[in-house]
Structure 1
Amino acid sequence: MATQYGISGTTAKGIAASVERGVAEGVLGPGAALPPVRRLADELGVSPGTVATAYKELRGRGIVVTRGRGGTVVASAPAVASRRPPKVPPGLRDLAGGHPDPGLLPGLVPPSRLAPGARSHRSTPRLARLEEVVRDWLRPDGVPVDHVTFAHGALDLIGRLLSVELRPGDAVAMEDPGYHHLLDLVTALGLRSVPVTVDDEGMRPDALHGALRAGVRAVVCSPRAQNPYGGCFSAERRDALREALEEQPDVLVVENDHASAVTEAPLRTLTGGGLTRWVHVRTVSKFLGADLRWAAAACDATTLARHDGRLLLTSGWVSHLLQDAVYGLLTDEATRALVSRARETYALRRTALLRELGARDFEAHGVSGMNVWVPVADESAVVNGLRSYGWWVAAGARFRLSSGPGVRISVAELEPADAARLASDFAAVLGESEATYGG
């Protein structure tokens, strides 16, 4: 409880810093209640307005949330904490990280095309030749390409858009289970996540309708390779979601196609229909390497102006050296062949594990992408049990908002020959208690 931690300070900033320190040190855990404004003001000898300002600052940074009559409490994933996974114990096979196979990534060679000297980065922030490559990349998938922009990765772009479009306290519809860094980002911006259940076809329309009725200002979704569940929009699901969203023209729709080039599933994009506010985001981390902090996006004209306007005031532009490196790789025939091989390899590895788990009557999900989600009743029992067999998988807690427990298994480096052993070890961990620990 908050009474076990002595909040101090005589100014709003001092009080906020004291609370944040308690959260960072773990003394104030998720859900811990802070004292009512007037009571804390009396204890500290300050005005209620000073405490109210401190709480407002903490809410704006996503450290606390207000629950009406429930008072002010520490957020479930406060911005000073993290859902980052624990370090992989020595000697274990890492199937938790979600990283691509290094053997399927191209070598990164610094570009040499750019001559030294001053260039007009702000007036021409994007290389024209890379813009055309991006348009050629997106157009065949039905994404409108009239307006494109670049960013330093998908999280950078999504975070910038949400901070421009929304205000602290606004609600965002988020996939559940969903990508943990995005869940943390929403909290860090002082926004509220409204969970939207997913299945093998992505967001469920009934759950999205519920989120829209709750007044969300933005929707963040993955059209394929959904992380961690692996869902992929069918044509019917895409149409149902688009129909729901077209009834809310002021809601910003963020489509995160994070594993595009290495996902064998087709893209069925929400864009290109009757949406008013939308952005389709693609990054290259999964097939060119995480060190290339670059993402491309297509969007409507208003979203472009707001994103680029804020970018201009912060980093200004994405490095032309980085853009040139991305251009060189995206147009290189050898790299394209390697990406094609990676796409086939990841599909083979994922389907091999699904087949082995299915043969042992385990429920598992992963129709696309680089991960397999296995529902379980006790995440810790499964994670620790597999650890004893030399495997390290991800507990599902950091991916979930209100959905049921599970574990995420990343298959990028799991050879088909190893899938049978992992599935067998999974069965051994569950033993005769499948009804308790399994799906």
Structure 2
Amino acid sequence: MAIRRLLIANRGEIALRIHRAAHEMGIETVAVHSTADADAMHVRLADHAVCIGPPAARDSYLNVAAIISAAEITHADAIHPGYGFLSENAQFAEIVETHGITWIGPKPEHIRTMGDKIEAKRTAGALGLPLVPGSDGAVSDIAEARAIAEAAGYPVIIKAASGGGGRGMKVCTGPDELESLIQQAGTEAKAAFGDATVYIEKYLGNPRHIEFQIFGDGNGNAIHLGERDCSLQRRHQKVLEEAPSPVISSDERQHMGGVVAKAMADMGYRGAGTIEFLWEDGKFYFIEMNTRLQVEHPVTEAITGLDLVREQIRIADGLPLSVRQEDIEFKGHAIECRINAEDPWTFAPSPGEVKSYHAAGGMHVRVDSGLYAGYRIPPYYDSMIAKLIVYGRTREGCIMRLRRALEEMVIEGPKTSIPLHQALLQEPDVLSGDYSIKWLEDWLARREN
């Protein structure tokens, strides 16, 4: 293997996850960190550590010059970006490669293409992926917008071409409000992302969020690793994910998995990627592609037995895919709970010192976290502090094991979302798998009333 020293351009549990995979492959690690993360677990465990700036992400984890300098002074020959921060920044990927450092991720041109939602939709359609009816590209002319909306059928949704997280998105129920909502969406998008470009799609009433994990070798070979159901969301942020989906049949999995794998092979895609769909009434509709590792990748690892981070590193190092499609077996069921340092009902952030910590254990229980007793959760970053992943031979068995694991999990000091997960696992709709992307917000609203 050519990669000998890997710089991890991230923090928290994903930085620790990458460190562990690298060490199991005999690769040294370099942790970069802000001053706020000097005592983080991945910094303590890495072979080398470099402080790259003050707490604010723009001055540290988004500071390209500082990260490249850290790679050069430590003689790192590869950079893994994790997820978030610079992981889907095509310019950063190009800079890494220009400096002769191996980029553990997709080709920069594919990051750029799939990062532009309009171009991503156009590319997906050309590759044979099913699309939501709507505009082929940006919409600026109101007459054109009216024609597109009429053809797709109201209600429609107006979306920002850049960014995400629900900003720059407006649902339009009829032609009378179309023009004003396009203007509002454009104004929001401009303020949030610096780009007022919007497009129009058919608004699906009650869909599920189903995504397929894919891997490509960059040379025209690609495989899929099945789907994940990420429909339990609040404000477009995933809360709980499971694999396989309770509503997708093995025939649907085989068919749609084949479609996405062929699309990625035709694209010449390299590394890990996730094709995200809305699913309603048995039909898939492409919404976007994430050109990076996903937060929820452990549930796929649990049902396939494949180490996704290890596979990323191998492919970046020029090695072929370690498995063929026919080698992959989907066994059992896995669920991941995202545990955040926040009030479980108001969702207000709750940083601060962890007074005591005990990770859940037992058969088929995995905790991805950098927490330890005495660690102080900084207020500057995403509130996710742990992921609890549980596997079972059946979905029912997995849920019972997850309930037990949540009871065992101890994080004293900050408030956490553990009580939210415990409440969800008592709900009949969750237990039966009968939920959509709107279910959680509706349930929370009912609780408030």
TM-score (norm 1): 0.25
Higher strand share: 2
- Larger RCO (CA within 8 A; separation ≥ 6): 1
* TM-score normalised by the chain length of structure 2: 0.25
Q: Tell me which protein shows more helix as a share of its residues.
A: 1
Point out the structure with max Rg over C-alpha. Answer: 1
